Structure 1
Amino acid sequence: MRGAGKPALFLVNPAGLLHVLSYSNASFARPDLKQIAQGIKMVQDRKQPIRGTYY
């Protein structure tokens, strides 16, 4: 039996490190791509490091 694909967003920084991972099959939980683009620009302009928790 094959599994179903799930929508996901992976953002990898220029160093090849995973910066953001988001996945959900709920349409109301999917990220707004315009806001994502604005956030990427802000993170790059500020040279912000990766933060958060890895599980």
Structure 2
Amino acid sequence: MLIHALEKGVTTPTLRNESGHLSIRVLSRYARLSADVLGGWHAERAAAVQEVDAR
């Protein structure tokens, strides 16, 4: 189920909320995230942190 959601472009925060897995490491075990998907998550996270820091 999680892998199908990933393939459809569901965001990581949505996957975390829907699955109940707060840890990205636990989520990655079940979703079997590829390096590309994890890289995208890290980029998303870095952008969010930069946005908060810019405020």
TM-score between both structures, scaled by the size of structure 2: 0.31
Higher strand share: 1
Say which one has the larger Rg: 1
Higher helix share: 2
Query: Relative contact order (C-alpha < 8 Å, sep 6+): which is higher?
Result: 2
TM-score between both structures, scaled by the size of structure 1: 0.31
